[in-house]
């Protein structure tokens, strides 16, 4: 794709000559005055401006200054002038000119200088992009997002959204950070499909994102984005982690309309964050719109309207056959309930800790973390639904077994190890099992 150059000169003959020299290599746009160039810049967005310095009504310096103030960025410009004064060049470079060329000029000299400027511009843009892009997702990083969105919210209409992944930490805790990275990449691909190419998307934290959809004015658009992200993300997660993946993974969105609720990005972000918090507090996996006329943001009234809808919410996350596998955060509450239960009904119960270490073969076909992941998947299947499993470290699983005696526990652990030893992963791991009966007397 050819670079675009805006030629600005009040002399028609000079414009024709300059166009003739450059048109073979570049797309050329022409303006006969500084004011016309300012108007054209908005629609044409040239890669370089080649401008006469001394023009009636508005000089090249004045035009350049107005453009940079209006667009808030450094605009590449090379001035054409017959003035030999060094003061002129000094003033121009102080204002940010890329180069000067003296009239009359030889075509090869003009072409070479234009080529050098555009190469430098590309190099600077590449460095700027590298500094503002999140490598994991390809979205803008936090600093890049703030810069782009500050400008966008000030001049564009649309909707600003904060998108937060629900239960993403459990992916890292239970499946490892490499799997977490895979899920993030899937999420970024899904989000790209849900927005348009000229919308702005950034990653502002580990699992928190921001997006600005230009000219979006209806809540239905936001609801549709939330629905598509949630459905596609669950499908992608099951493809990566297996159909028996039990993590309630999804996305919650807090949104605010621009400019209806303001044009300041920082203030709008706070509003969207309040809407997001309300979604998180009312079931997650959905979208909420900030309402300036209420203390709390609006949420979907169907989220928690009836007992039936709440029951359905939990049924959608029901546990399949096998042990109840949860994350470390939830396990603390489950453990307290478990202890209260066995104290109340005087049931026997056991605690078990299984630790995996690399064997002498672990450096061969399978990385150790893959073995741990496979063990975690295999661990729950032979256990009972009343048993509870939590992965407390990258290589350790802690379990609670209610209503069981030592003999049956030994048989159960034996079945687990026998089943594991039949897998191709087993020779790459050394397993240590520790168990202890929960002493009811000490719980009194």
Mean pLDDT of 76-97: 75
Q: Is the pLDDT of residue 313 over 50?
A: no
| Residue 172 structure tokens | 């890292």
Same domain, yes or no, for 49 and 115?
yes
Q: Is the pLDDT of residue 274 over 90?
A: yes
Mean pLDDT of 162-167: 93
Same domain, yes or no, for 52 and 183?
no
Same domain, yes or no, for 166 and 241?
yes
**What is the per-residue pLDDT for 88?**
66
Band the pLDDT of 366: cuts 50, 70, 90.
very low
Band the pLDDT of 444: cuts 50, 70, 90.
low
**What is the per-residue pLDDT for 258?**
95
Band the pLDDT of 365: cuts 50, 70, 90.
very low
Select the more confidently predicted residue: 108 or 329.
108
Whole-number average pLDDT of the chain: 83
Say if 137 falls within a structural domain: no
Mean pLDDT of 86-110: 77
Select the more confidently predicted residue: 296 or 433.
433
CA distance 102 to 80: 6
**What is the per-residue pLDDT for 320?**
53
CA distance 272 to 284: 15
Same domain, yes or no, for 281 and 366?
no
**What is the per-residue pLDDT for 403?**
86
Mean pLDDT lowest among 32-41, 80-89, 388-397: 80-89
Q: Is the pLDDT of residue 271 over 80?
A: yes
**What is the per-residue pLDDT for 338?**
80
Same domain, yes or no, for 109 and 247?
no
Q: 358 to each of 181, 192, 365, 370, 399, how far by Cα in Å?
A: 23, 39, 12, 11, 21
Say if 283 falls within a structural domain: yes
Domain count for the chain, please give it.
Answer: 3
Do 238 and 245 contact (CB within 8 A), yes or no? yes
Same domain, yes or no, for 121 and 221?
no
The DSSP 8-state label assigned to residue 101 in this structure reads E
Of 131, 166, 192, which residue is a domain's last? 131
SS3 352: strand
**What is the per-residue pLDDT for 362?**
59
| Residue 412 structure tokens | 């159960």
Mean pLDDT lowest among 48-52, 154-158, 308-312: 308-312
Mean pLDDT of 427-441: 87
| Residue 440 structure tokens | 């009811």
CA distance 100 to 60: 12
Mean pLDDT of 241-270: 92
Band the pLDDT of 379: cuts 50, 70, 90.
confident
**What is the per-residue pLDDT for 4?**
92
**What is the per-residue pLDDT for 223?**
94
Say if 136 falls within a structural domain: no
**What is the per-residue pLDDT for 303?**
44
CA distance 222 to 279: 13
Same domain, yes or no, for 370 and 419?
yes
Residues paired with residue 165 on neighbouring β-strands, in sequence order: 251
Q: Is the pLDDT of residue 302 over 50?
A: no
Mean pLDDT lowest among 45-54, 98-107, 225-234: 98-107
Select the more confidently predicted residue: 15 or 331.
15
Same domain, yes or no, for 338 and 418?
yes
**What is the per-residue pLDDT for 316?**
45
- State the Cα angle at 391 between 389 and 395, rounded to 5°: 130
Residues paired with residue 28 on neighbouring β-strands, in sequence order: 5
Mean pLDDT of 75-95: 75
Mean pLDDT of 312-324: 53
Q: Is the pLDDT of residue 234 over 90?
A: yes
What is the reported pTM? 0.48
Same domain, yes or no, for 88 and 49?
yes
Q: 44 to each of 4, 48, 178, 239, how far by Cα in Å?
A: 8, 11, 44, 44
Select the more confidently predicted residue: 314 or 171.
171
| Residue 252 structure tokens | 């919650």
> Which residues lie closer than 8 Å to 68 by C-beta, 6 or more apart?
74, 75, 96
Of 112, 131, 150, which residue is a domain's last? 131
Say if 344 falls within a structural domain: yes
Q: Is the pLDDT of residue 299 over 70?
A: no
Of 315, 342, 363, which residue is a domain's last? 315
CA proximity to 412, closest of 440, 435, 439: 435
**What is the per-residue pLDDT for 187?**
95
**What is the per-residue pLDDT for 53?**
87
**What is the per-residue pLDDT for 304?**
45
Mean pLDDT lowest among 16-30, 171-185, 341-355: 341-355
Tell me, what CATH number does 352's domain have? 3.30.70.270
| Residue 56 structure tokens | 């009636």
Same domain, yes or no, for 260 and 301?
yes
Indicate the Cα dihedral angle 39, 42, 44, 45, nearest 10°.
130
**What is the per-residue pLDDT for 428?**
84
Q: 200 to each of 71, 211, 277, how far by Cα in Å?
A: 18, 5, 22
Find the domain containing 114 and state its range.
4-131
The continuous run of DSSP H or E covering 86 comes out as helix 86-94
Q: Is the pLDDT of residue 432 over 60?
A: yes
């Amino acid at each position: 794709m050819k670079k675009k150059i805006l030629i600005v000169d009040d002399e028609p003959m000079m414009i024709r000559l300059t166009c003739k020299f450059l048109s073979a290599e570049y797309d050329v746009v022409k303006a006969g005055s500084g004011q016309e160039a300012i108007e054209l810049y908005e629609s044409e967005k040239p890669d370089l401006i080649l401008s006469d310095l001394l023009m009636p009504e508005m000089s090249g310096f004045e035009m350049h200054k107005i453009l940079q103030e209006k667009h808030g960025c450094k605009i590449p410009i090379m001035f054409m002038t017959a003035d030999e004064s060094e003061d002129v060049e000094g003033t121009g470079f102080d204002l940010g000119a890329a180069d000067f060329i003296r009239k009359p000029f030889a075509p090869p000299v003009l072409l070479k200088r234009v080529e050098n400027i555009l190469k430098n511009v590309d190099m600077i843009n590449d460095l700027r992009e590298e500094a503002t892009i999140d490598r994991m997702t390809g979205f803008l990083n936090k600093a890049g997002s703030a810069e782009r969105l500050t400008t966008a919210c000030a001049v564009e209409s649309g909707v600003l959204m904060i998108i937060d992944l629900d239960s993403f930490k459990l992916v890292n805790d239970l499946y490892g950070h490499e799997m977490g990275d895979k899920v993030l990449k899937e999420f970024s691909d899904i989000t790209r499909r849900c927005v348009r190419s000229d919308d702005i998307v950034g990653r502002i934290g580990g699992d928190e994102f921001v997006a600005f959809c230009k000219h979006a004015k209806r809540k239905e658009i936001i609801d549709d984005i939330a629905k598509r992200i949630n459905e596609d993300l669950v499908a992608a997660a099951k493809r990566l982690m297996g159909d028996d993946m039990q993590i309630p993974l999804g996305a919650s969105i807090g949104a605010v309309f621009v400019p209806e609720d303001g044009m300041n990005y920082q203030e709008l972000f706070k509003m969207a964050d309040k809407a997001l918090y309300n979604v998180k507090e009312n079931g997650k996996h959905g979208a909420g719109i900030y309402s300036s006329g209420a203390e709390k943001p609006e949420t979907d009234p169907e989220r928690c309207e009836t007992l039936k809808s709440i029951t359905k919410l939990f049924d959608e996350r029901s546990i399949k056959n096998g042990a109840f596998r949860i994350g470390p955060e939830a396990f603390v509450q489950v453990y307290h309930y478990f202890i209260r239960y066995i104290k109340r009904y005087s049931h026997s119960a056991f605690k078990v800790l299984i630790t995996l270490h690399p064997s002498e073969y672990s450096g061969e076909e399978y990385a150790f973390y893959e073995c741990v992941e496979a063990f975690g998947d295999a661990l729950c299947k032979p256990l009972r639904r009343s048993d509870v499993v939590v992965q407390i470290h990258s290589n350790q699983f802690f379990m609670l077994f209610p209503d069981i005696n030592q003999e049956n526990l030994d048989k159960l652990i034996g079945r687990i190890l026998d089943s594991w030893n039949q897998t191709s992963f087993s020779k790459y791991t050394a397993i240590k099992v520790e168990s202890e009966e929960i002493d009811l007397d000490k719980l009194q």
